[in-house]
Amino acid sequence: MGVAVANAQNSFNTPVADENTNGEMVEMSEAIPVDMSQPMQLTDASFADEQAVQSLLSNYVDNPKQTTAAILNILLGDFGVGHFYTGQTLRGVLDIIFCWTGIPAIIGLVEGIIWLTDTEEEWAARVEGWKNKR
């Protein structure tokens, strides 16, 4: 590993041409000023407090995207993935139980096509109906 670090340091010390210097050769340290005296913090999760995370998760659960739900139902309707995504857990479980019959796949295909052709108002009413059944 020491060789790799040495090679990396040597490559940063080689002169490079910078567009801002009219083609003059400058050192890499002059081209990209970096303060190496302070350790770099790669992640900052201070924005992710508990309330923000809960709000984000509830937004995804309470407002499923129409095209995502429809495509999941068309492609994986046999296993109830579209129903789980939309919060219809009981329907998803029933789809898994009866997946061996192929009936949930047919129903998922038909429902997925219907969901794709819904207008925004129809989709919002459908989602609201699912929320009220919970």
Instruction: Evaluate whether 70 touches 115 at the Cβ level (below 8 Å).
Output: yes
Single pTM value for the model: 0.55
Task: Look at residue 122 and tell me whether its pLDDT is greater than 90.
Answer: yes
Task: Look at residue 41 and tell me whether its pLDDT is greater than 60.
Answer: no
> Which residues make Cβ contacts (< 8 Å) with residue 88, sequence separation at least 6?
130
Question: Positive or negative, the Cα torsion across 107, 113, 119, 124?
Answer: positive
Tokens 């929320």 sit on residue: 131
Q: Which pLDDT does position 58 carry in this prediction?
A: 61
What's the N-to-C CA distance of the chain in angstroms?
A: 57
Tokens 């919060």 sit on residue: 87
Instruction: Evaluate whether 115 touches 73 at the Cβ level (below 8 Å).
Output: yes
- Residues 53-112: pLDDT tens digits? 666 656 655 678 999 999 999 999 999 999 999 989 999 999 999 999 999 999 999 999
Rounded average pLDDT over 14-41: 56
How crowded is the C-beta side of 33, counted as CA atoms within 13 Å?
0
Q: Which pLDDT does position 5 carry in this prediction?
A: 45
- Residues 3-17: pLDDT tens digits? 444 444 455 555 555
